[in-house]
Amino acid sequence: MSLKDDKYRNDPPQTIRIGKIEPTGEPCEEFYPGPAAMIIFGASGDLARRKIMPALFKLTRSKILTENFFIMGMARTEMDSDSFRRMIEAALREAGGFDEAIWERFSKKLYYKTVDYTDIKALEEAGRLIAEKERAHGTNGNRIFYLATPPSVYEGIIESIKASGLSGNGENQARVVIEKPSGRDLESARALDSVVLRNFTEEQVFRIDHYLGKETVQNILMLRFANAIFEPLWNRRYIDHVQITVAETNGIEKRAGYYEQAGVLRDMFQNHILQVLALAAMEPPSIYDPELVRDEKIKVLRALRPVPLNEINNWLVLGQYVEGEVDGRLVPGYREEEGVAKDSEVPTYAAMKLFIDNWRWQDVPFYIRSGKRLNKRFSEVAIQFKSVPHRLFRETLKEDIGPNTLILKIQPEERIQLRFHTKNPGSRVCLRDVFMDFSYTEGYKGLTLGAYERVLLDCMLGDKTLFVRKDGAELSWAFLTPMLDFIESGYAGAPEVNLYRAGSSGPVEADKFITREGRSWRDDG
């Protein structure tokens, strides 16, 4: 029988996983921050309970934090320090990994003060309490101010910190950590920066993006610039396109007040996704230095091709989830979520095509997408290489050979995978797809840090590699703001918000958006 017969090709291709990684050498030596006080504005809120406090607890449990450290929680909620400790203990037990002995030590470093953020006298009184605890814990007056509040009060808090004297007289170290989003458009981002930089220097400001603290995101630079086999191929000659995906199964989680003002483009694209894109596309700096790395990221953001608004529907698809089933349970649609307007047009899904106009990436499309209430939770960067230039096996294999793909998985598992093709064993000529698979946790016995732990530690150390610089934030807003204004203006031709069922892969319009160009979304599998 002829080898050209279709039944001599496996259909579908077999996929196997190979490549167990053996540990080599000793775990890296960790850096340890010096004495400091962390003052958390909005300490009674959801962000502090679910993210910040569990991260600080793990850093304590891992013996990373110095003994000369304490936390002062401040918020409008009426509470004393004992009540605050009970609230944090409950949150830590719920988060998992609770340790009674560590809690005994950690709880003694927790304090709370009820304040109105704009009441200067109340903040002056809080300053006297902080100074008292600084003497008791030996923190040398070093203060880190963490704004875990709604963005609408950032400017007032920054002004009040300076006016009340909380930021000190410059003799000691003061830093301020600002959660995203930093503004809601270019104008508001510049207004916020104006207030921030009137009261702090850019060196003191840490615009946090916890997404950049994930190990796989950080490893993009190492993978590219420490391996000679990748960087020569990392350009328009060999790469067909790049996909960056942040898919979530959860909804808005009682954050309607924020999400109704933000939507998916402000929530995920402006900071998370564009920052990951910049890391994946940047040129190598001369040395690994925080400012030089950020300089190269800025060049990528500056080279983003503006989306033509008269053709915006060829570049952008929006969606909003309706009632459906996720993980075996029925969930409400976005408009049925508590606090959401019944006629809301806020998008919870977006897929966008963009280009970087420089020599490395000219005319290589980057497809970026993010959505809530989807059928799978995964985040990844997929580098899809061009197909082989000559179909050597065209007479033997009737189907096209798929492209090679390098997949940087960010969550829920942090992995690197390389997809390539080999022959199946036996006399038949047929292919199988192989995934060479590397897991960050397999074979590693050293300390592993979550995203918030990583960025909090870097803030204490003063390492700004993973933090967004003023010009980086402004360039992201400059790219997105014209689209946001056009979408929210209601002008004719603005993208419709397409409905998709919760538990699906998103609106069908997003599939048509990429398939009309002869490509398809990469599913997590």
Other C-beta atoms lying within 10 Å of the C-beta of residue 479 = 20
Give pLDDT tens digits for 145-164. 999 998 888 999 999 999 99
Residue 25 lies in a domain: no
**Which residue pairs, CB below 8 angstroms and at least 24 apart, start in 436-442?**
436/18, 436/19, 437/17, 437/18, 437/19, 438/19, 438/21, 439/21, 439/413, 439/414, 439/415, 440/215, 440/216, 440/219, 440/414, 440/415, 441/414, 442/20, 442/21
Residue 22 lies in a domain: no
Instruction: Looking at the structure, tell me whether residues 428 and 333 fall in a common domain.
Output: yes
- 8 A C-beta contact, residue 504 and residue 374: yes
Residue 192 lies in a domain: no
Picking from 128, 157, 179, the residue at the C-terminal end of a domain is 179
Instruction: Looking at the structure, tell me whether residues 433 and 508 fall in a common domain.
Output: yes
The pLDDT value recorded for residue 399 is 61
Looking at residue 285, which CATH number applies to its domain? Answer: 3.30.360.10
Instruction: Looking at the structure, tell me whether residues 130 and 219 fall in a common domain.
Output: no
The pLDDT value recorded for residue 458 is 86
Residue 422 lies in a domain: yes
Question: Pick the catalytic residue: 137, 241, 272, 390?
Answer: 272
Instruction: Looking at the structure, tell me whether residues 96 and 239 fall in a common domain.
Output: no
Instruction: Looking at the structure, tell me whether residues 355 and 255 fall in a common domain.
Output: yes
Residue 3 lies in a domain: no
Residue 460 lies in a domain: yes
The pLDDT value recorded for residue 66 is 82
Instruction: Looking at the structure, tell me whether residues 223 and 115 fall in a common domain.
Output: no
Instruction: Looking at the structure, tell me whether residues 107 and 219 fall in a common domain.
Output: no
Looking at residue 152, which CATH number applies to its domain? Answer: 3.40.50.720
Residue 297 lies in a domain: yes
- Contacts with 5 (C-beta within 8 Å, 6 or more apart), sequence order: none
Could you give phi then psi for residue 269, rounded to 5 degrees? -80, -45
Picking from 126, 157, 179, the residue at the C-terminal end of a domain is 179
Q: Low-confidence residues of the chain, pLDDT below 70? A: 1-31, 169-172, 389-401, 423-430, 432, 443-447, 525
Give pLDDT tens digits for 44-82. 988 899 999 999 999 999 888 888 999 999 999 999 999
The pLDDT value recorded for residue 436 is 82
**Which residue pairs, CB below 8 angstroms and at least 24 apart, start in 355-358?**
355/304, 355/305, 356/281, 356/300, 356/303, 356/304, 356/305, 357/303, 357/304, 357/305, 358/299, 358/300, 358/303
- Tell me, rounded to whole angstroms, the distance of Cα 448 from its chain centroid: 18
Instruction: Looking at the structure, tell me whether residues 170 and 268 fall in a common domain.
Output: no
- Tell me, rounded to whole angstroms, the distance of Cα 275 from its chain centroid: 8
Instruction: Looking at the structure, tell me whether residues 159 and 278 fall in a common domain.
Output: no
Instruction: Looking at the structure, tell me whether residues 250 and 146 fall in a common domain.
Output: no
Residue 390 bears catalytic tag: no
The pLDDT value recorded for residue 7 is 35
Name the pTM for this structure. Answer: 0.87
The pLDDT value recorded for residue 9 is 35
- 8 A C-beta contact, residue 346 and residue 322: no
Q: Number of structural domains, the chain?
A: 2
Structural domain of residue 452, as residue ranges?
Answer: 212-515
Instruction: Looking at the structure, tell me whether residues 167 and 216 fall in a common domain.
Output: no
Residue 21 lies in a domain: no
Instruction: Looking at the structure, tell me whether residues 237 and 173 fall in a common domain.
Output: no
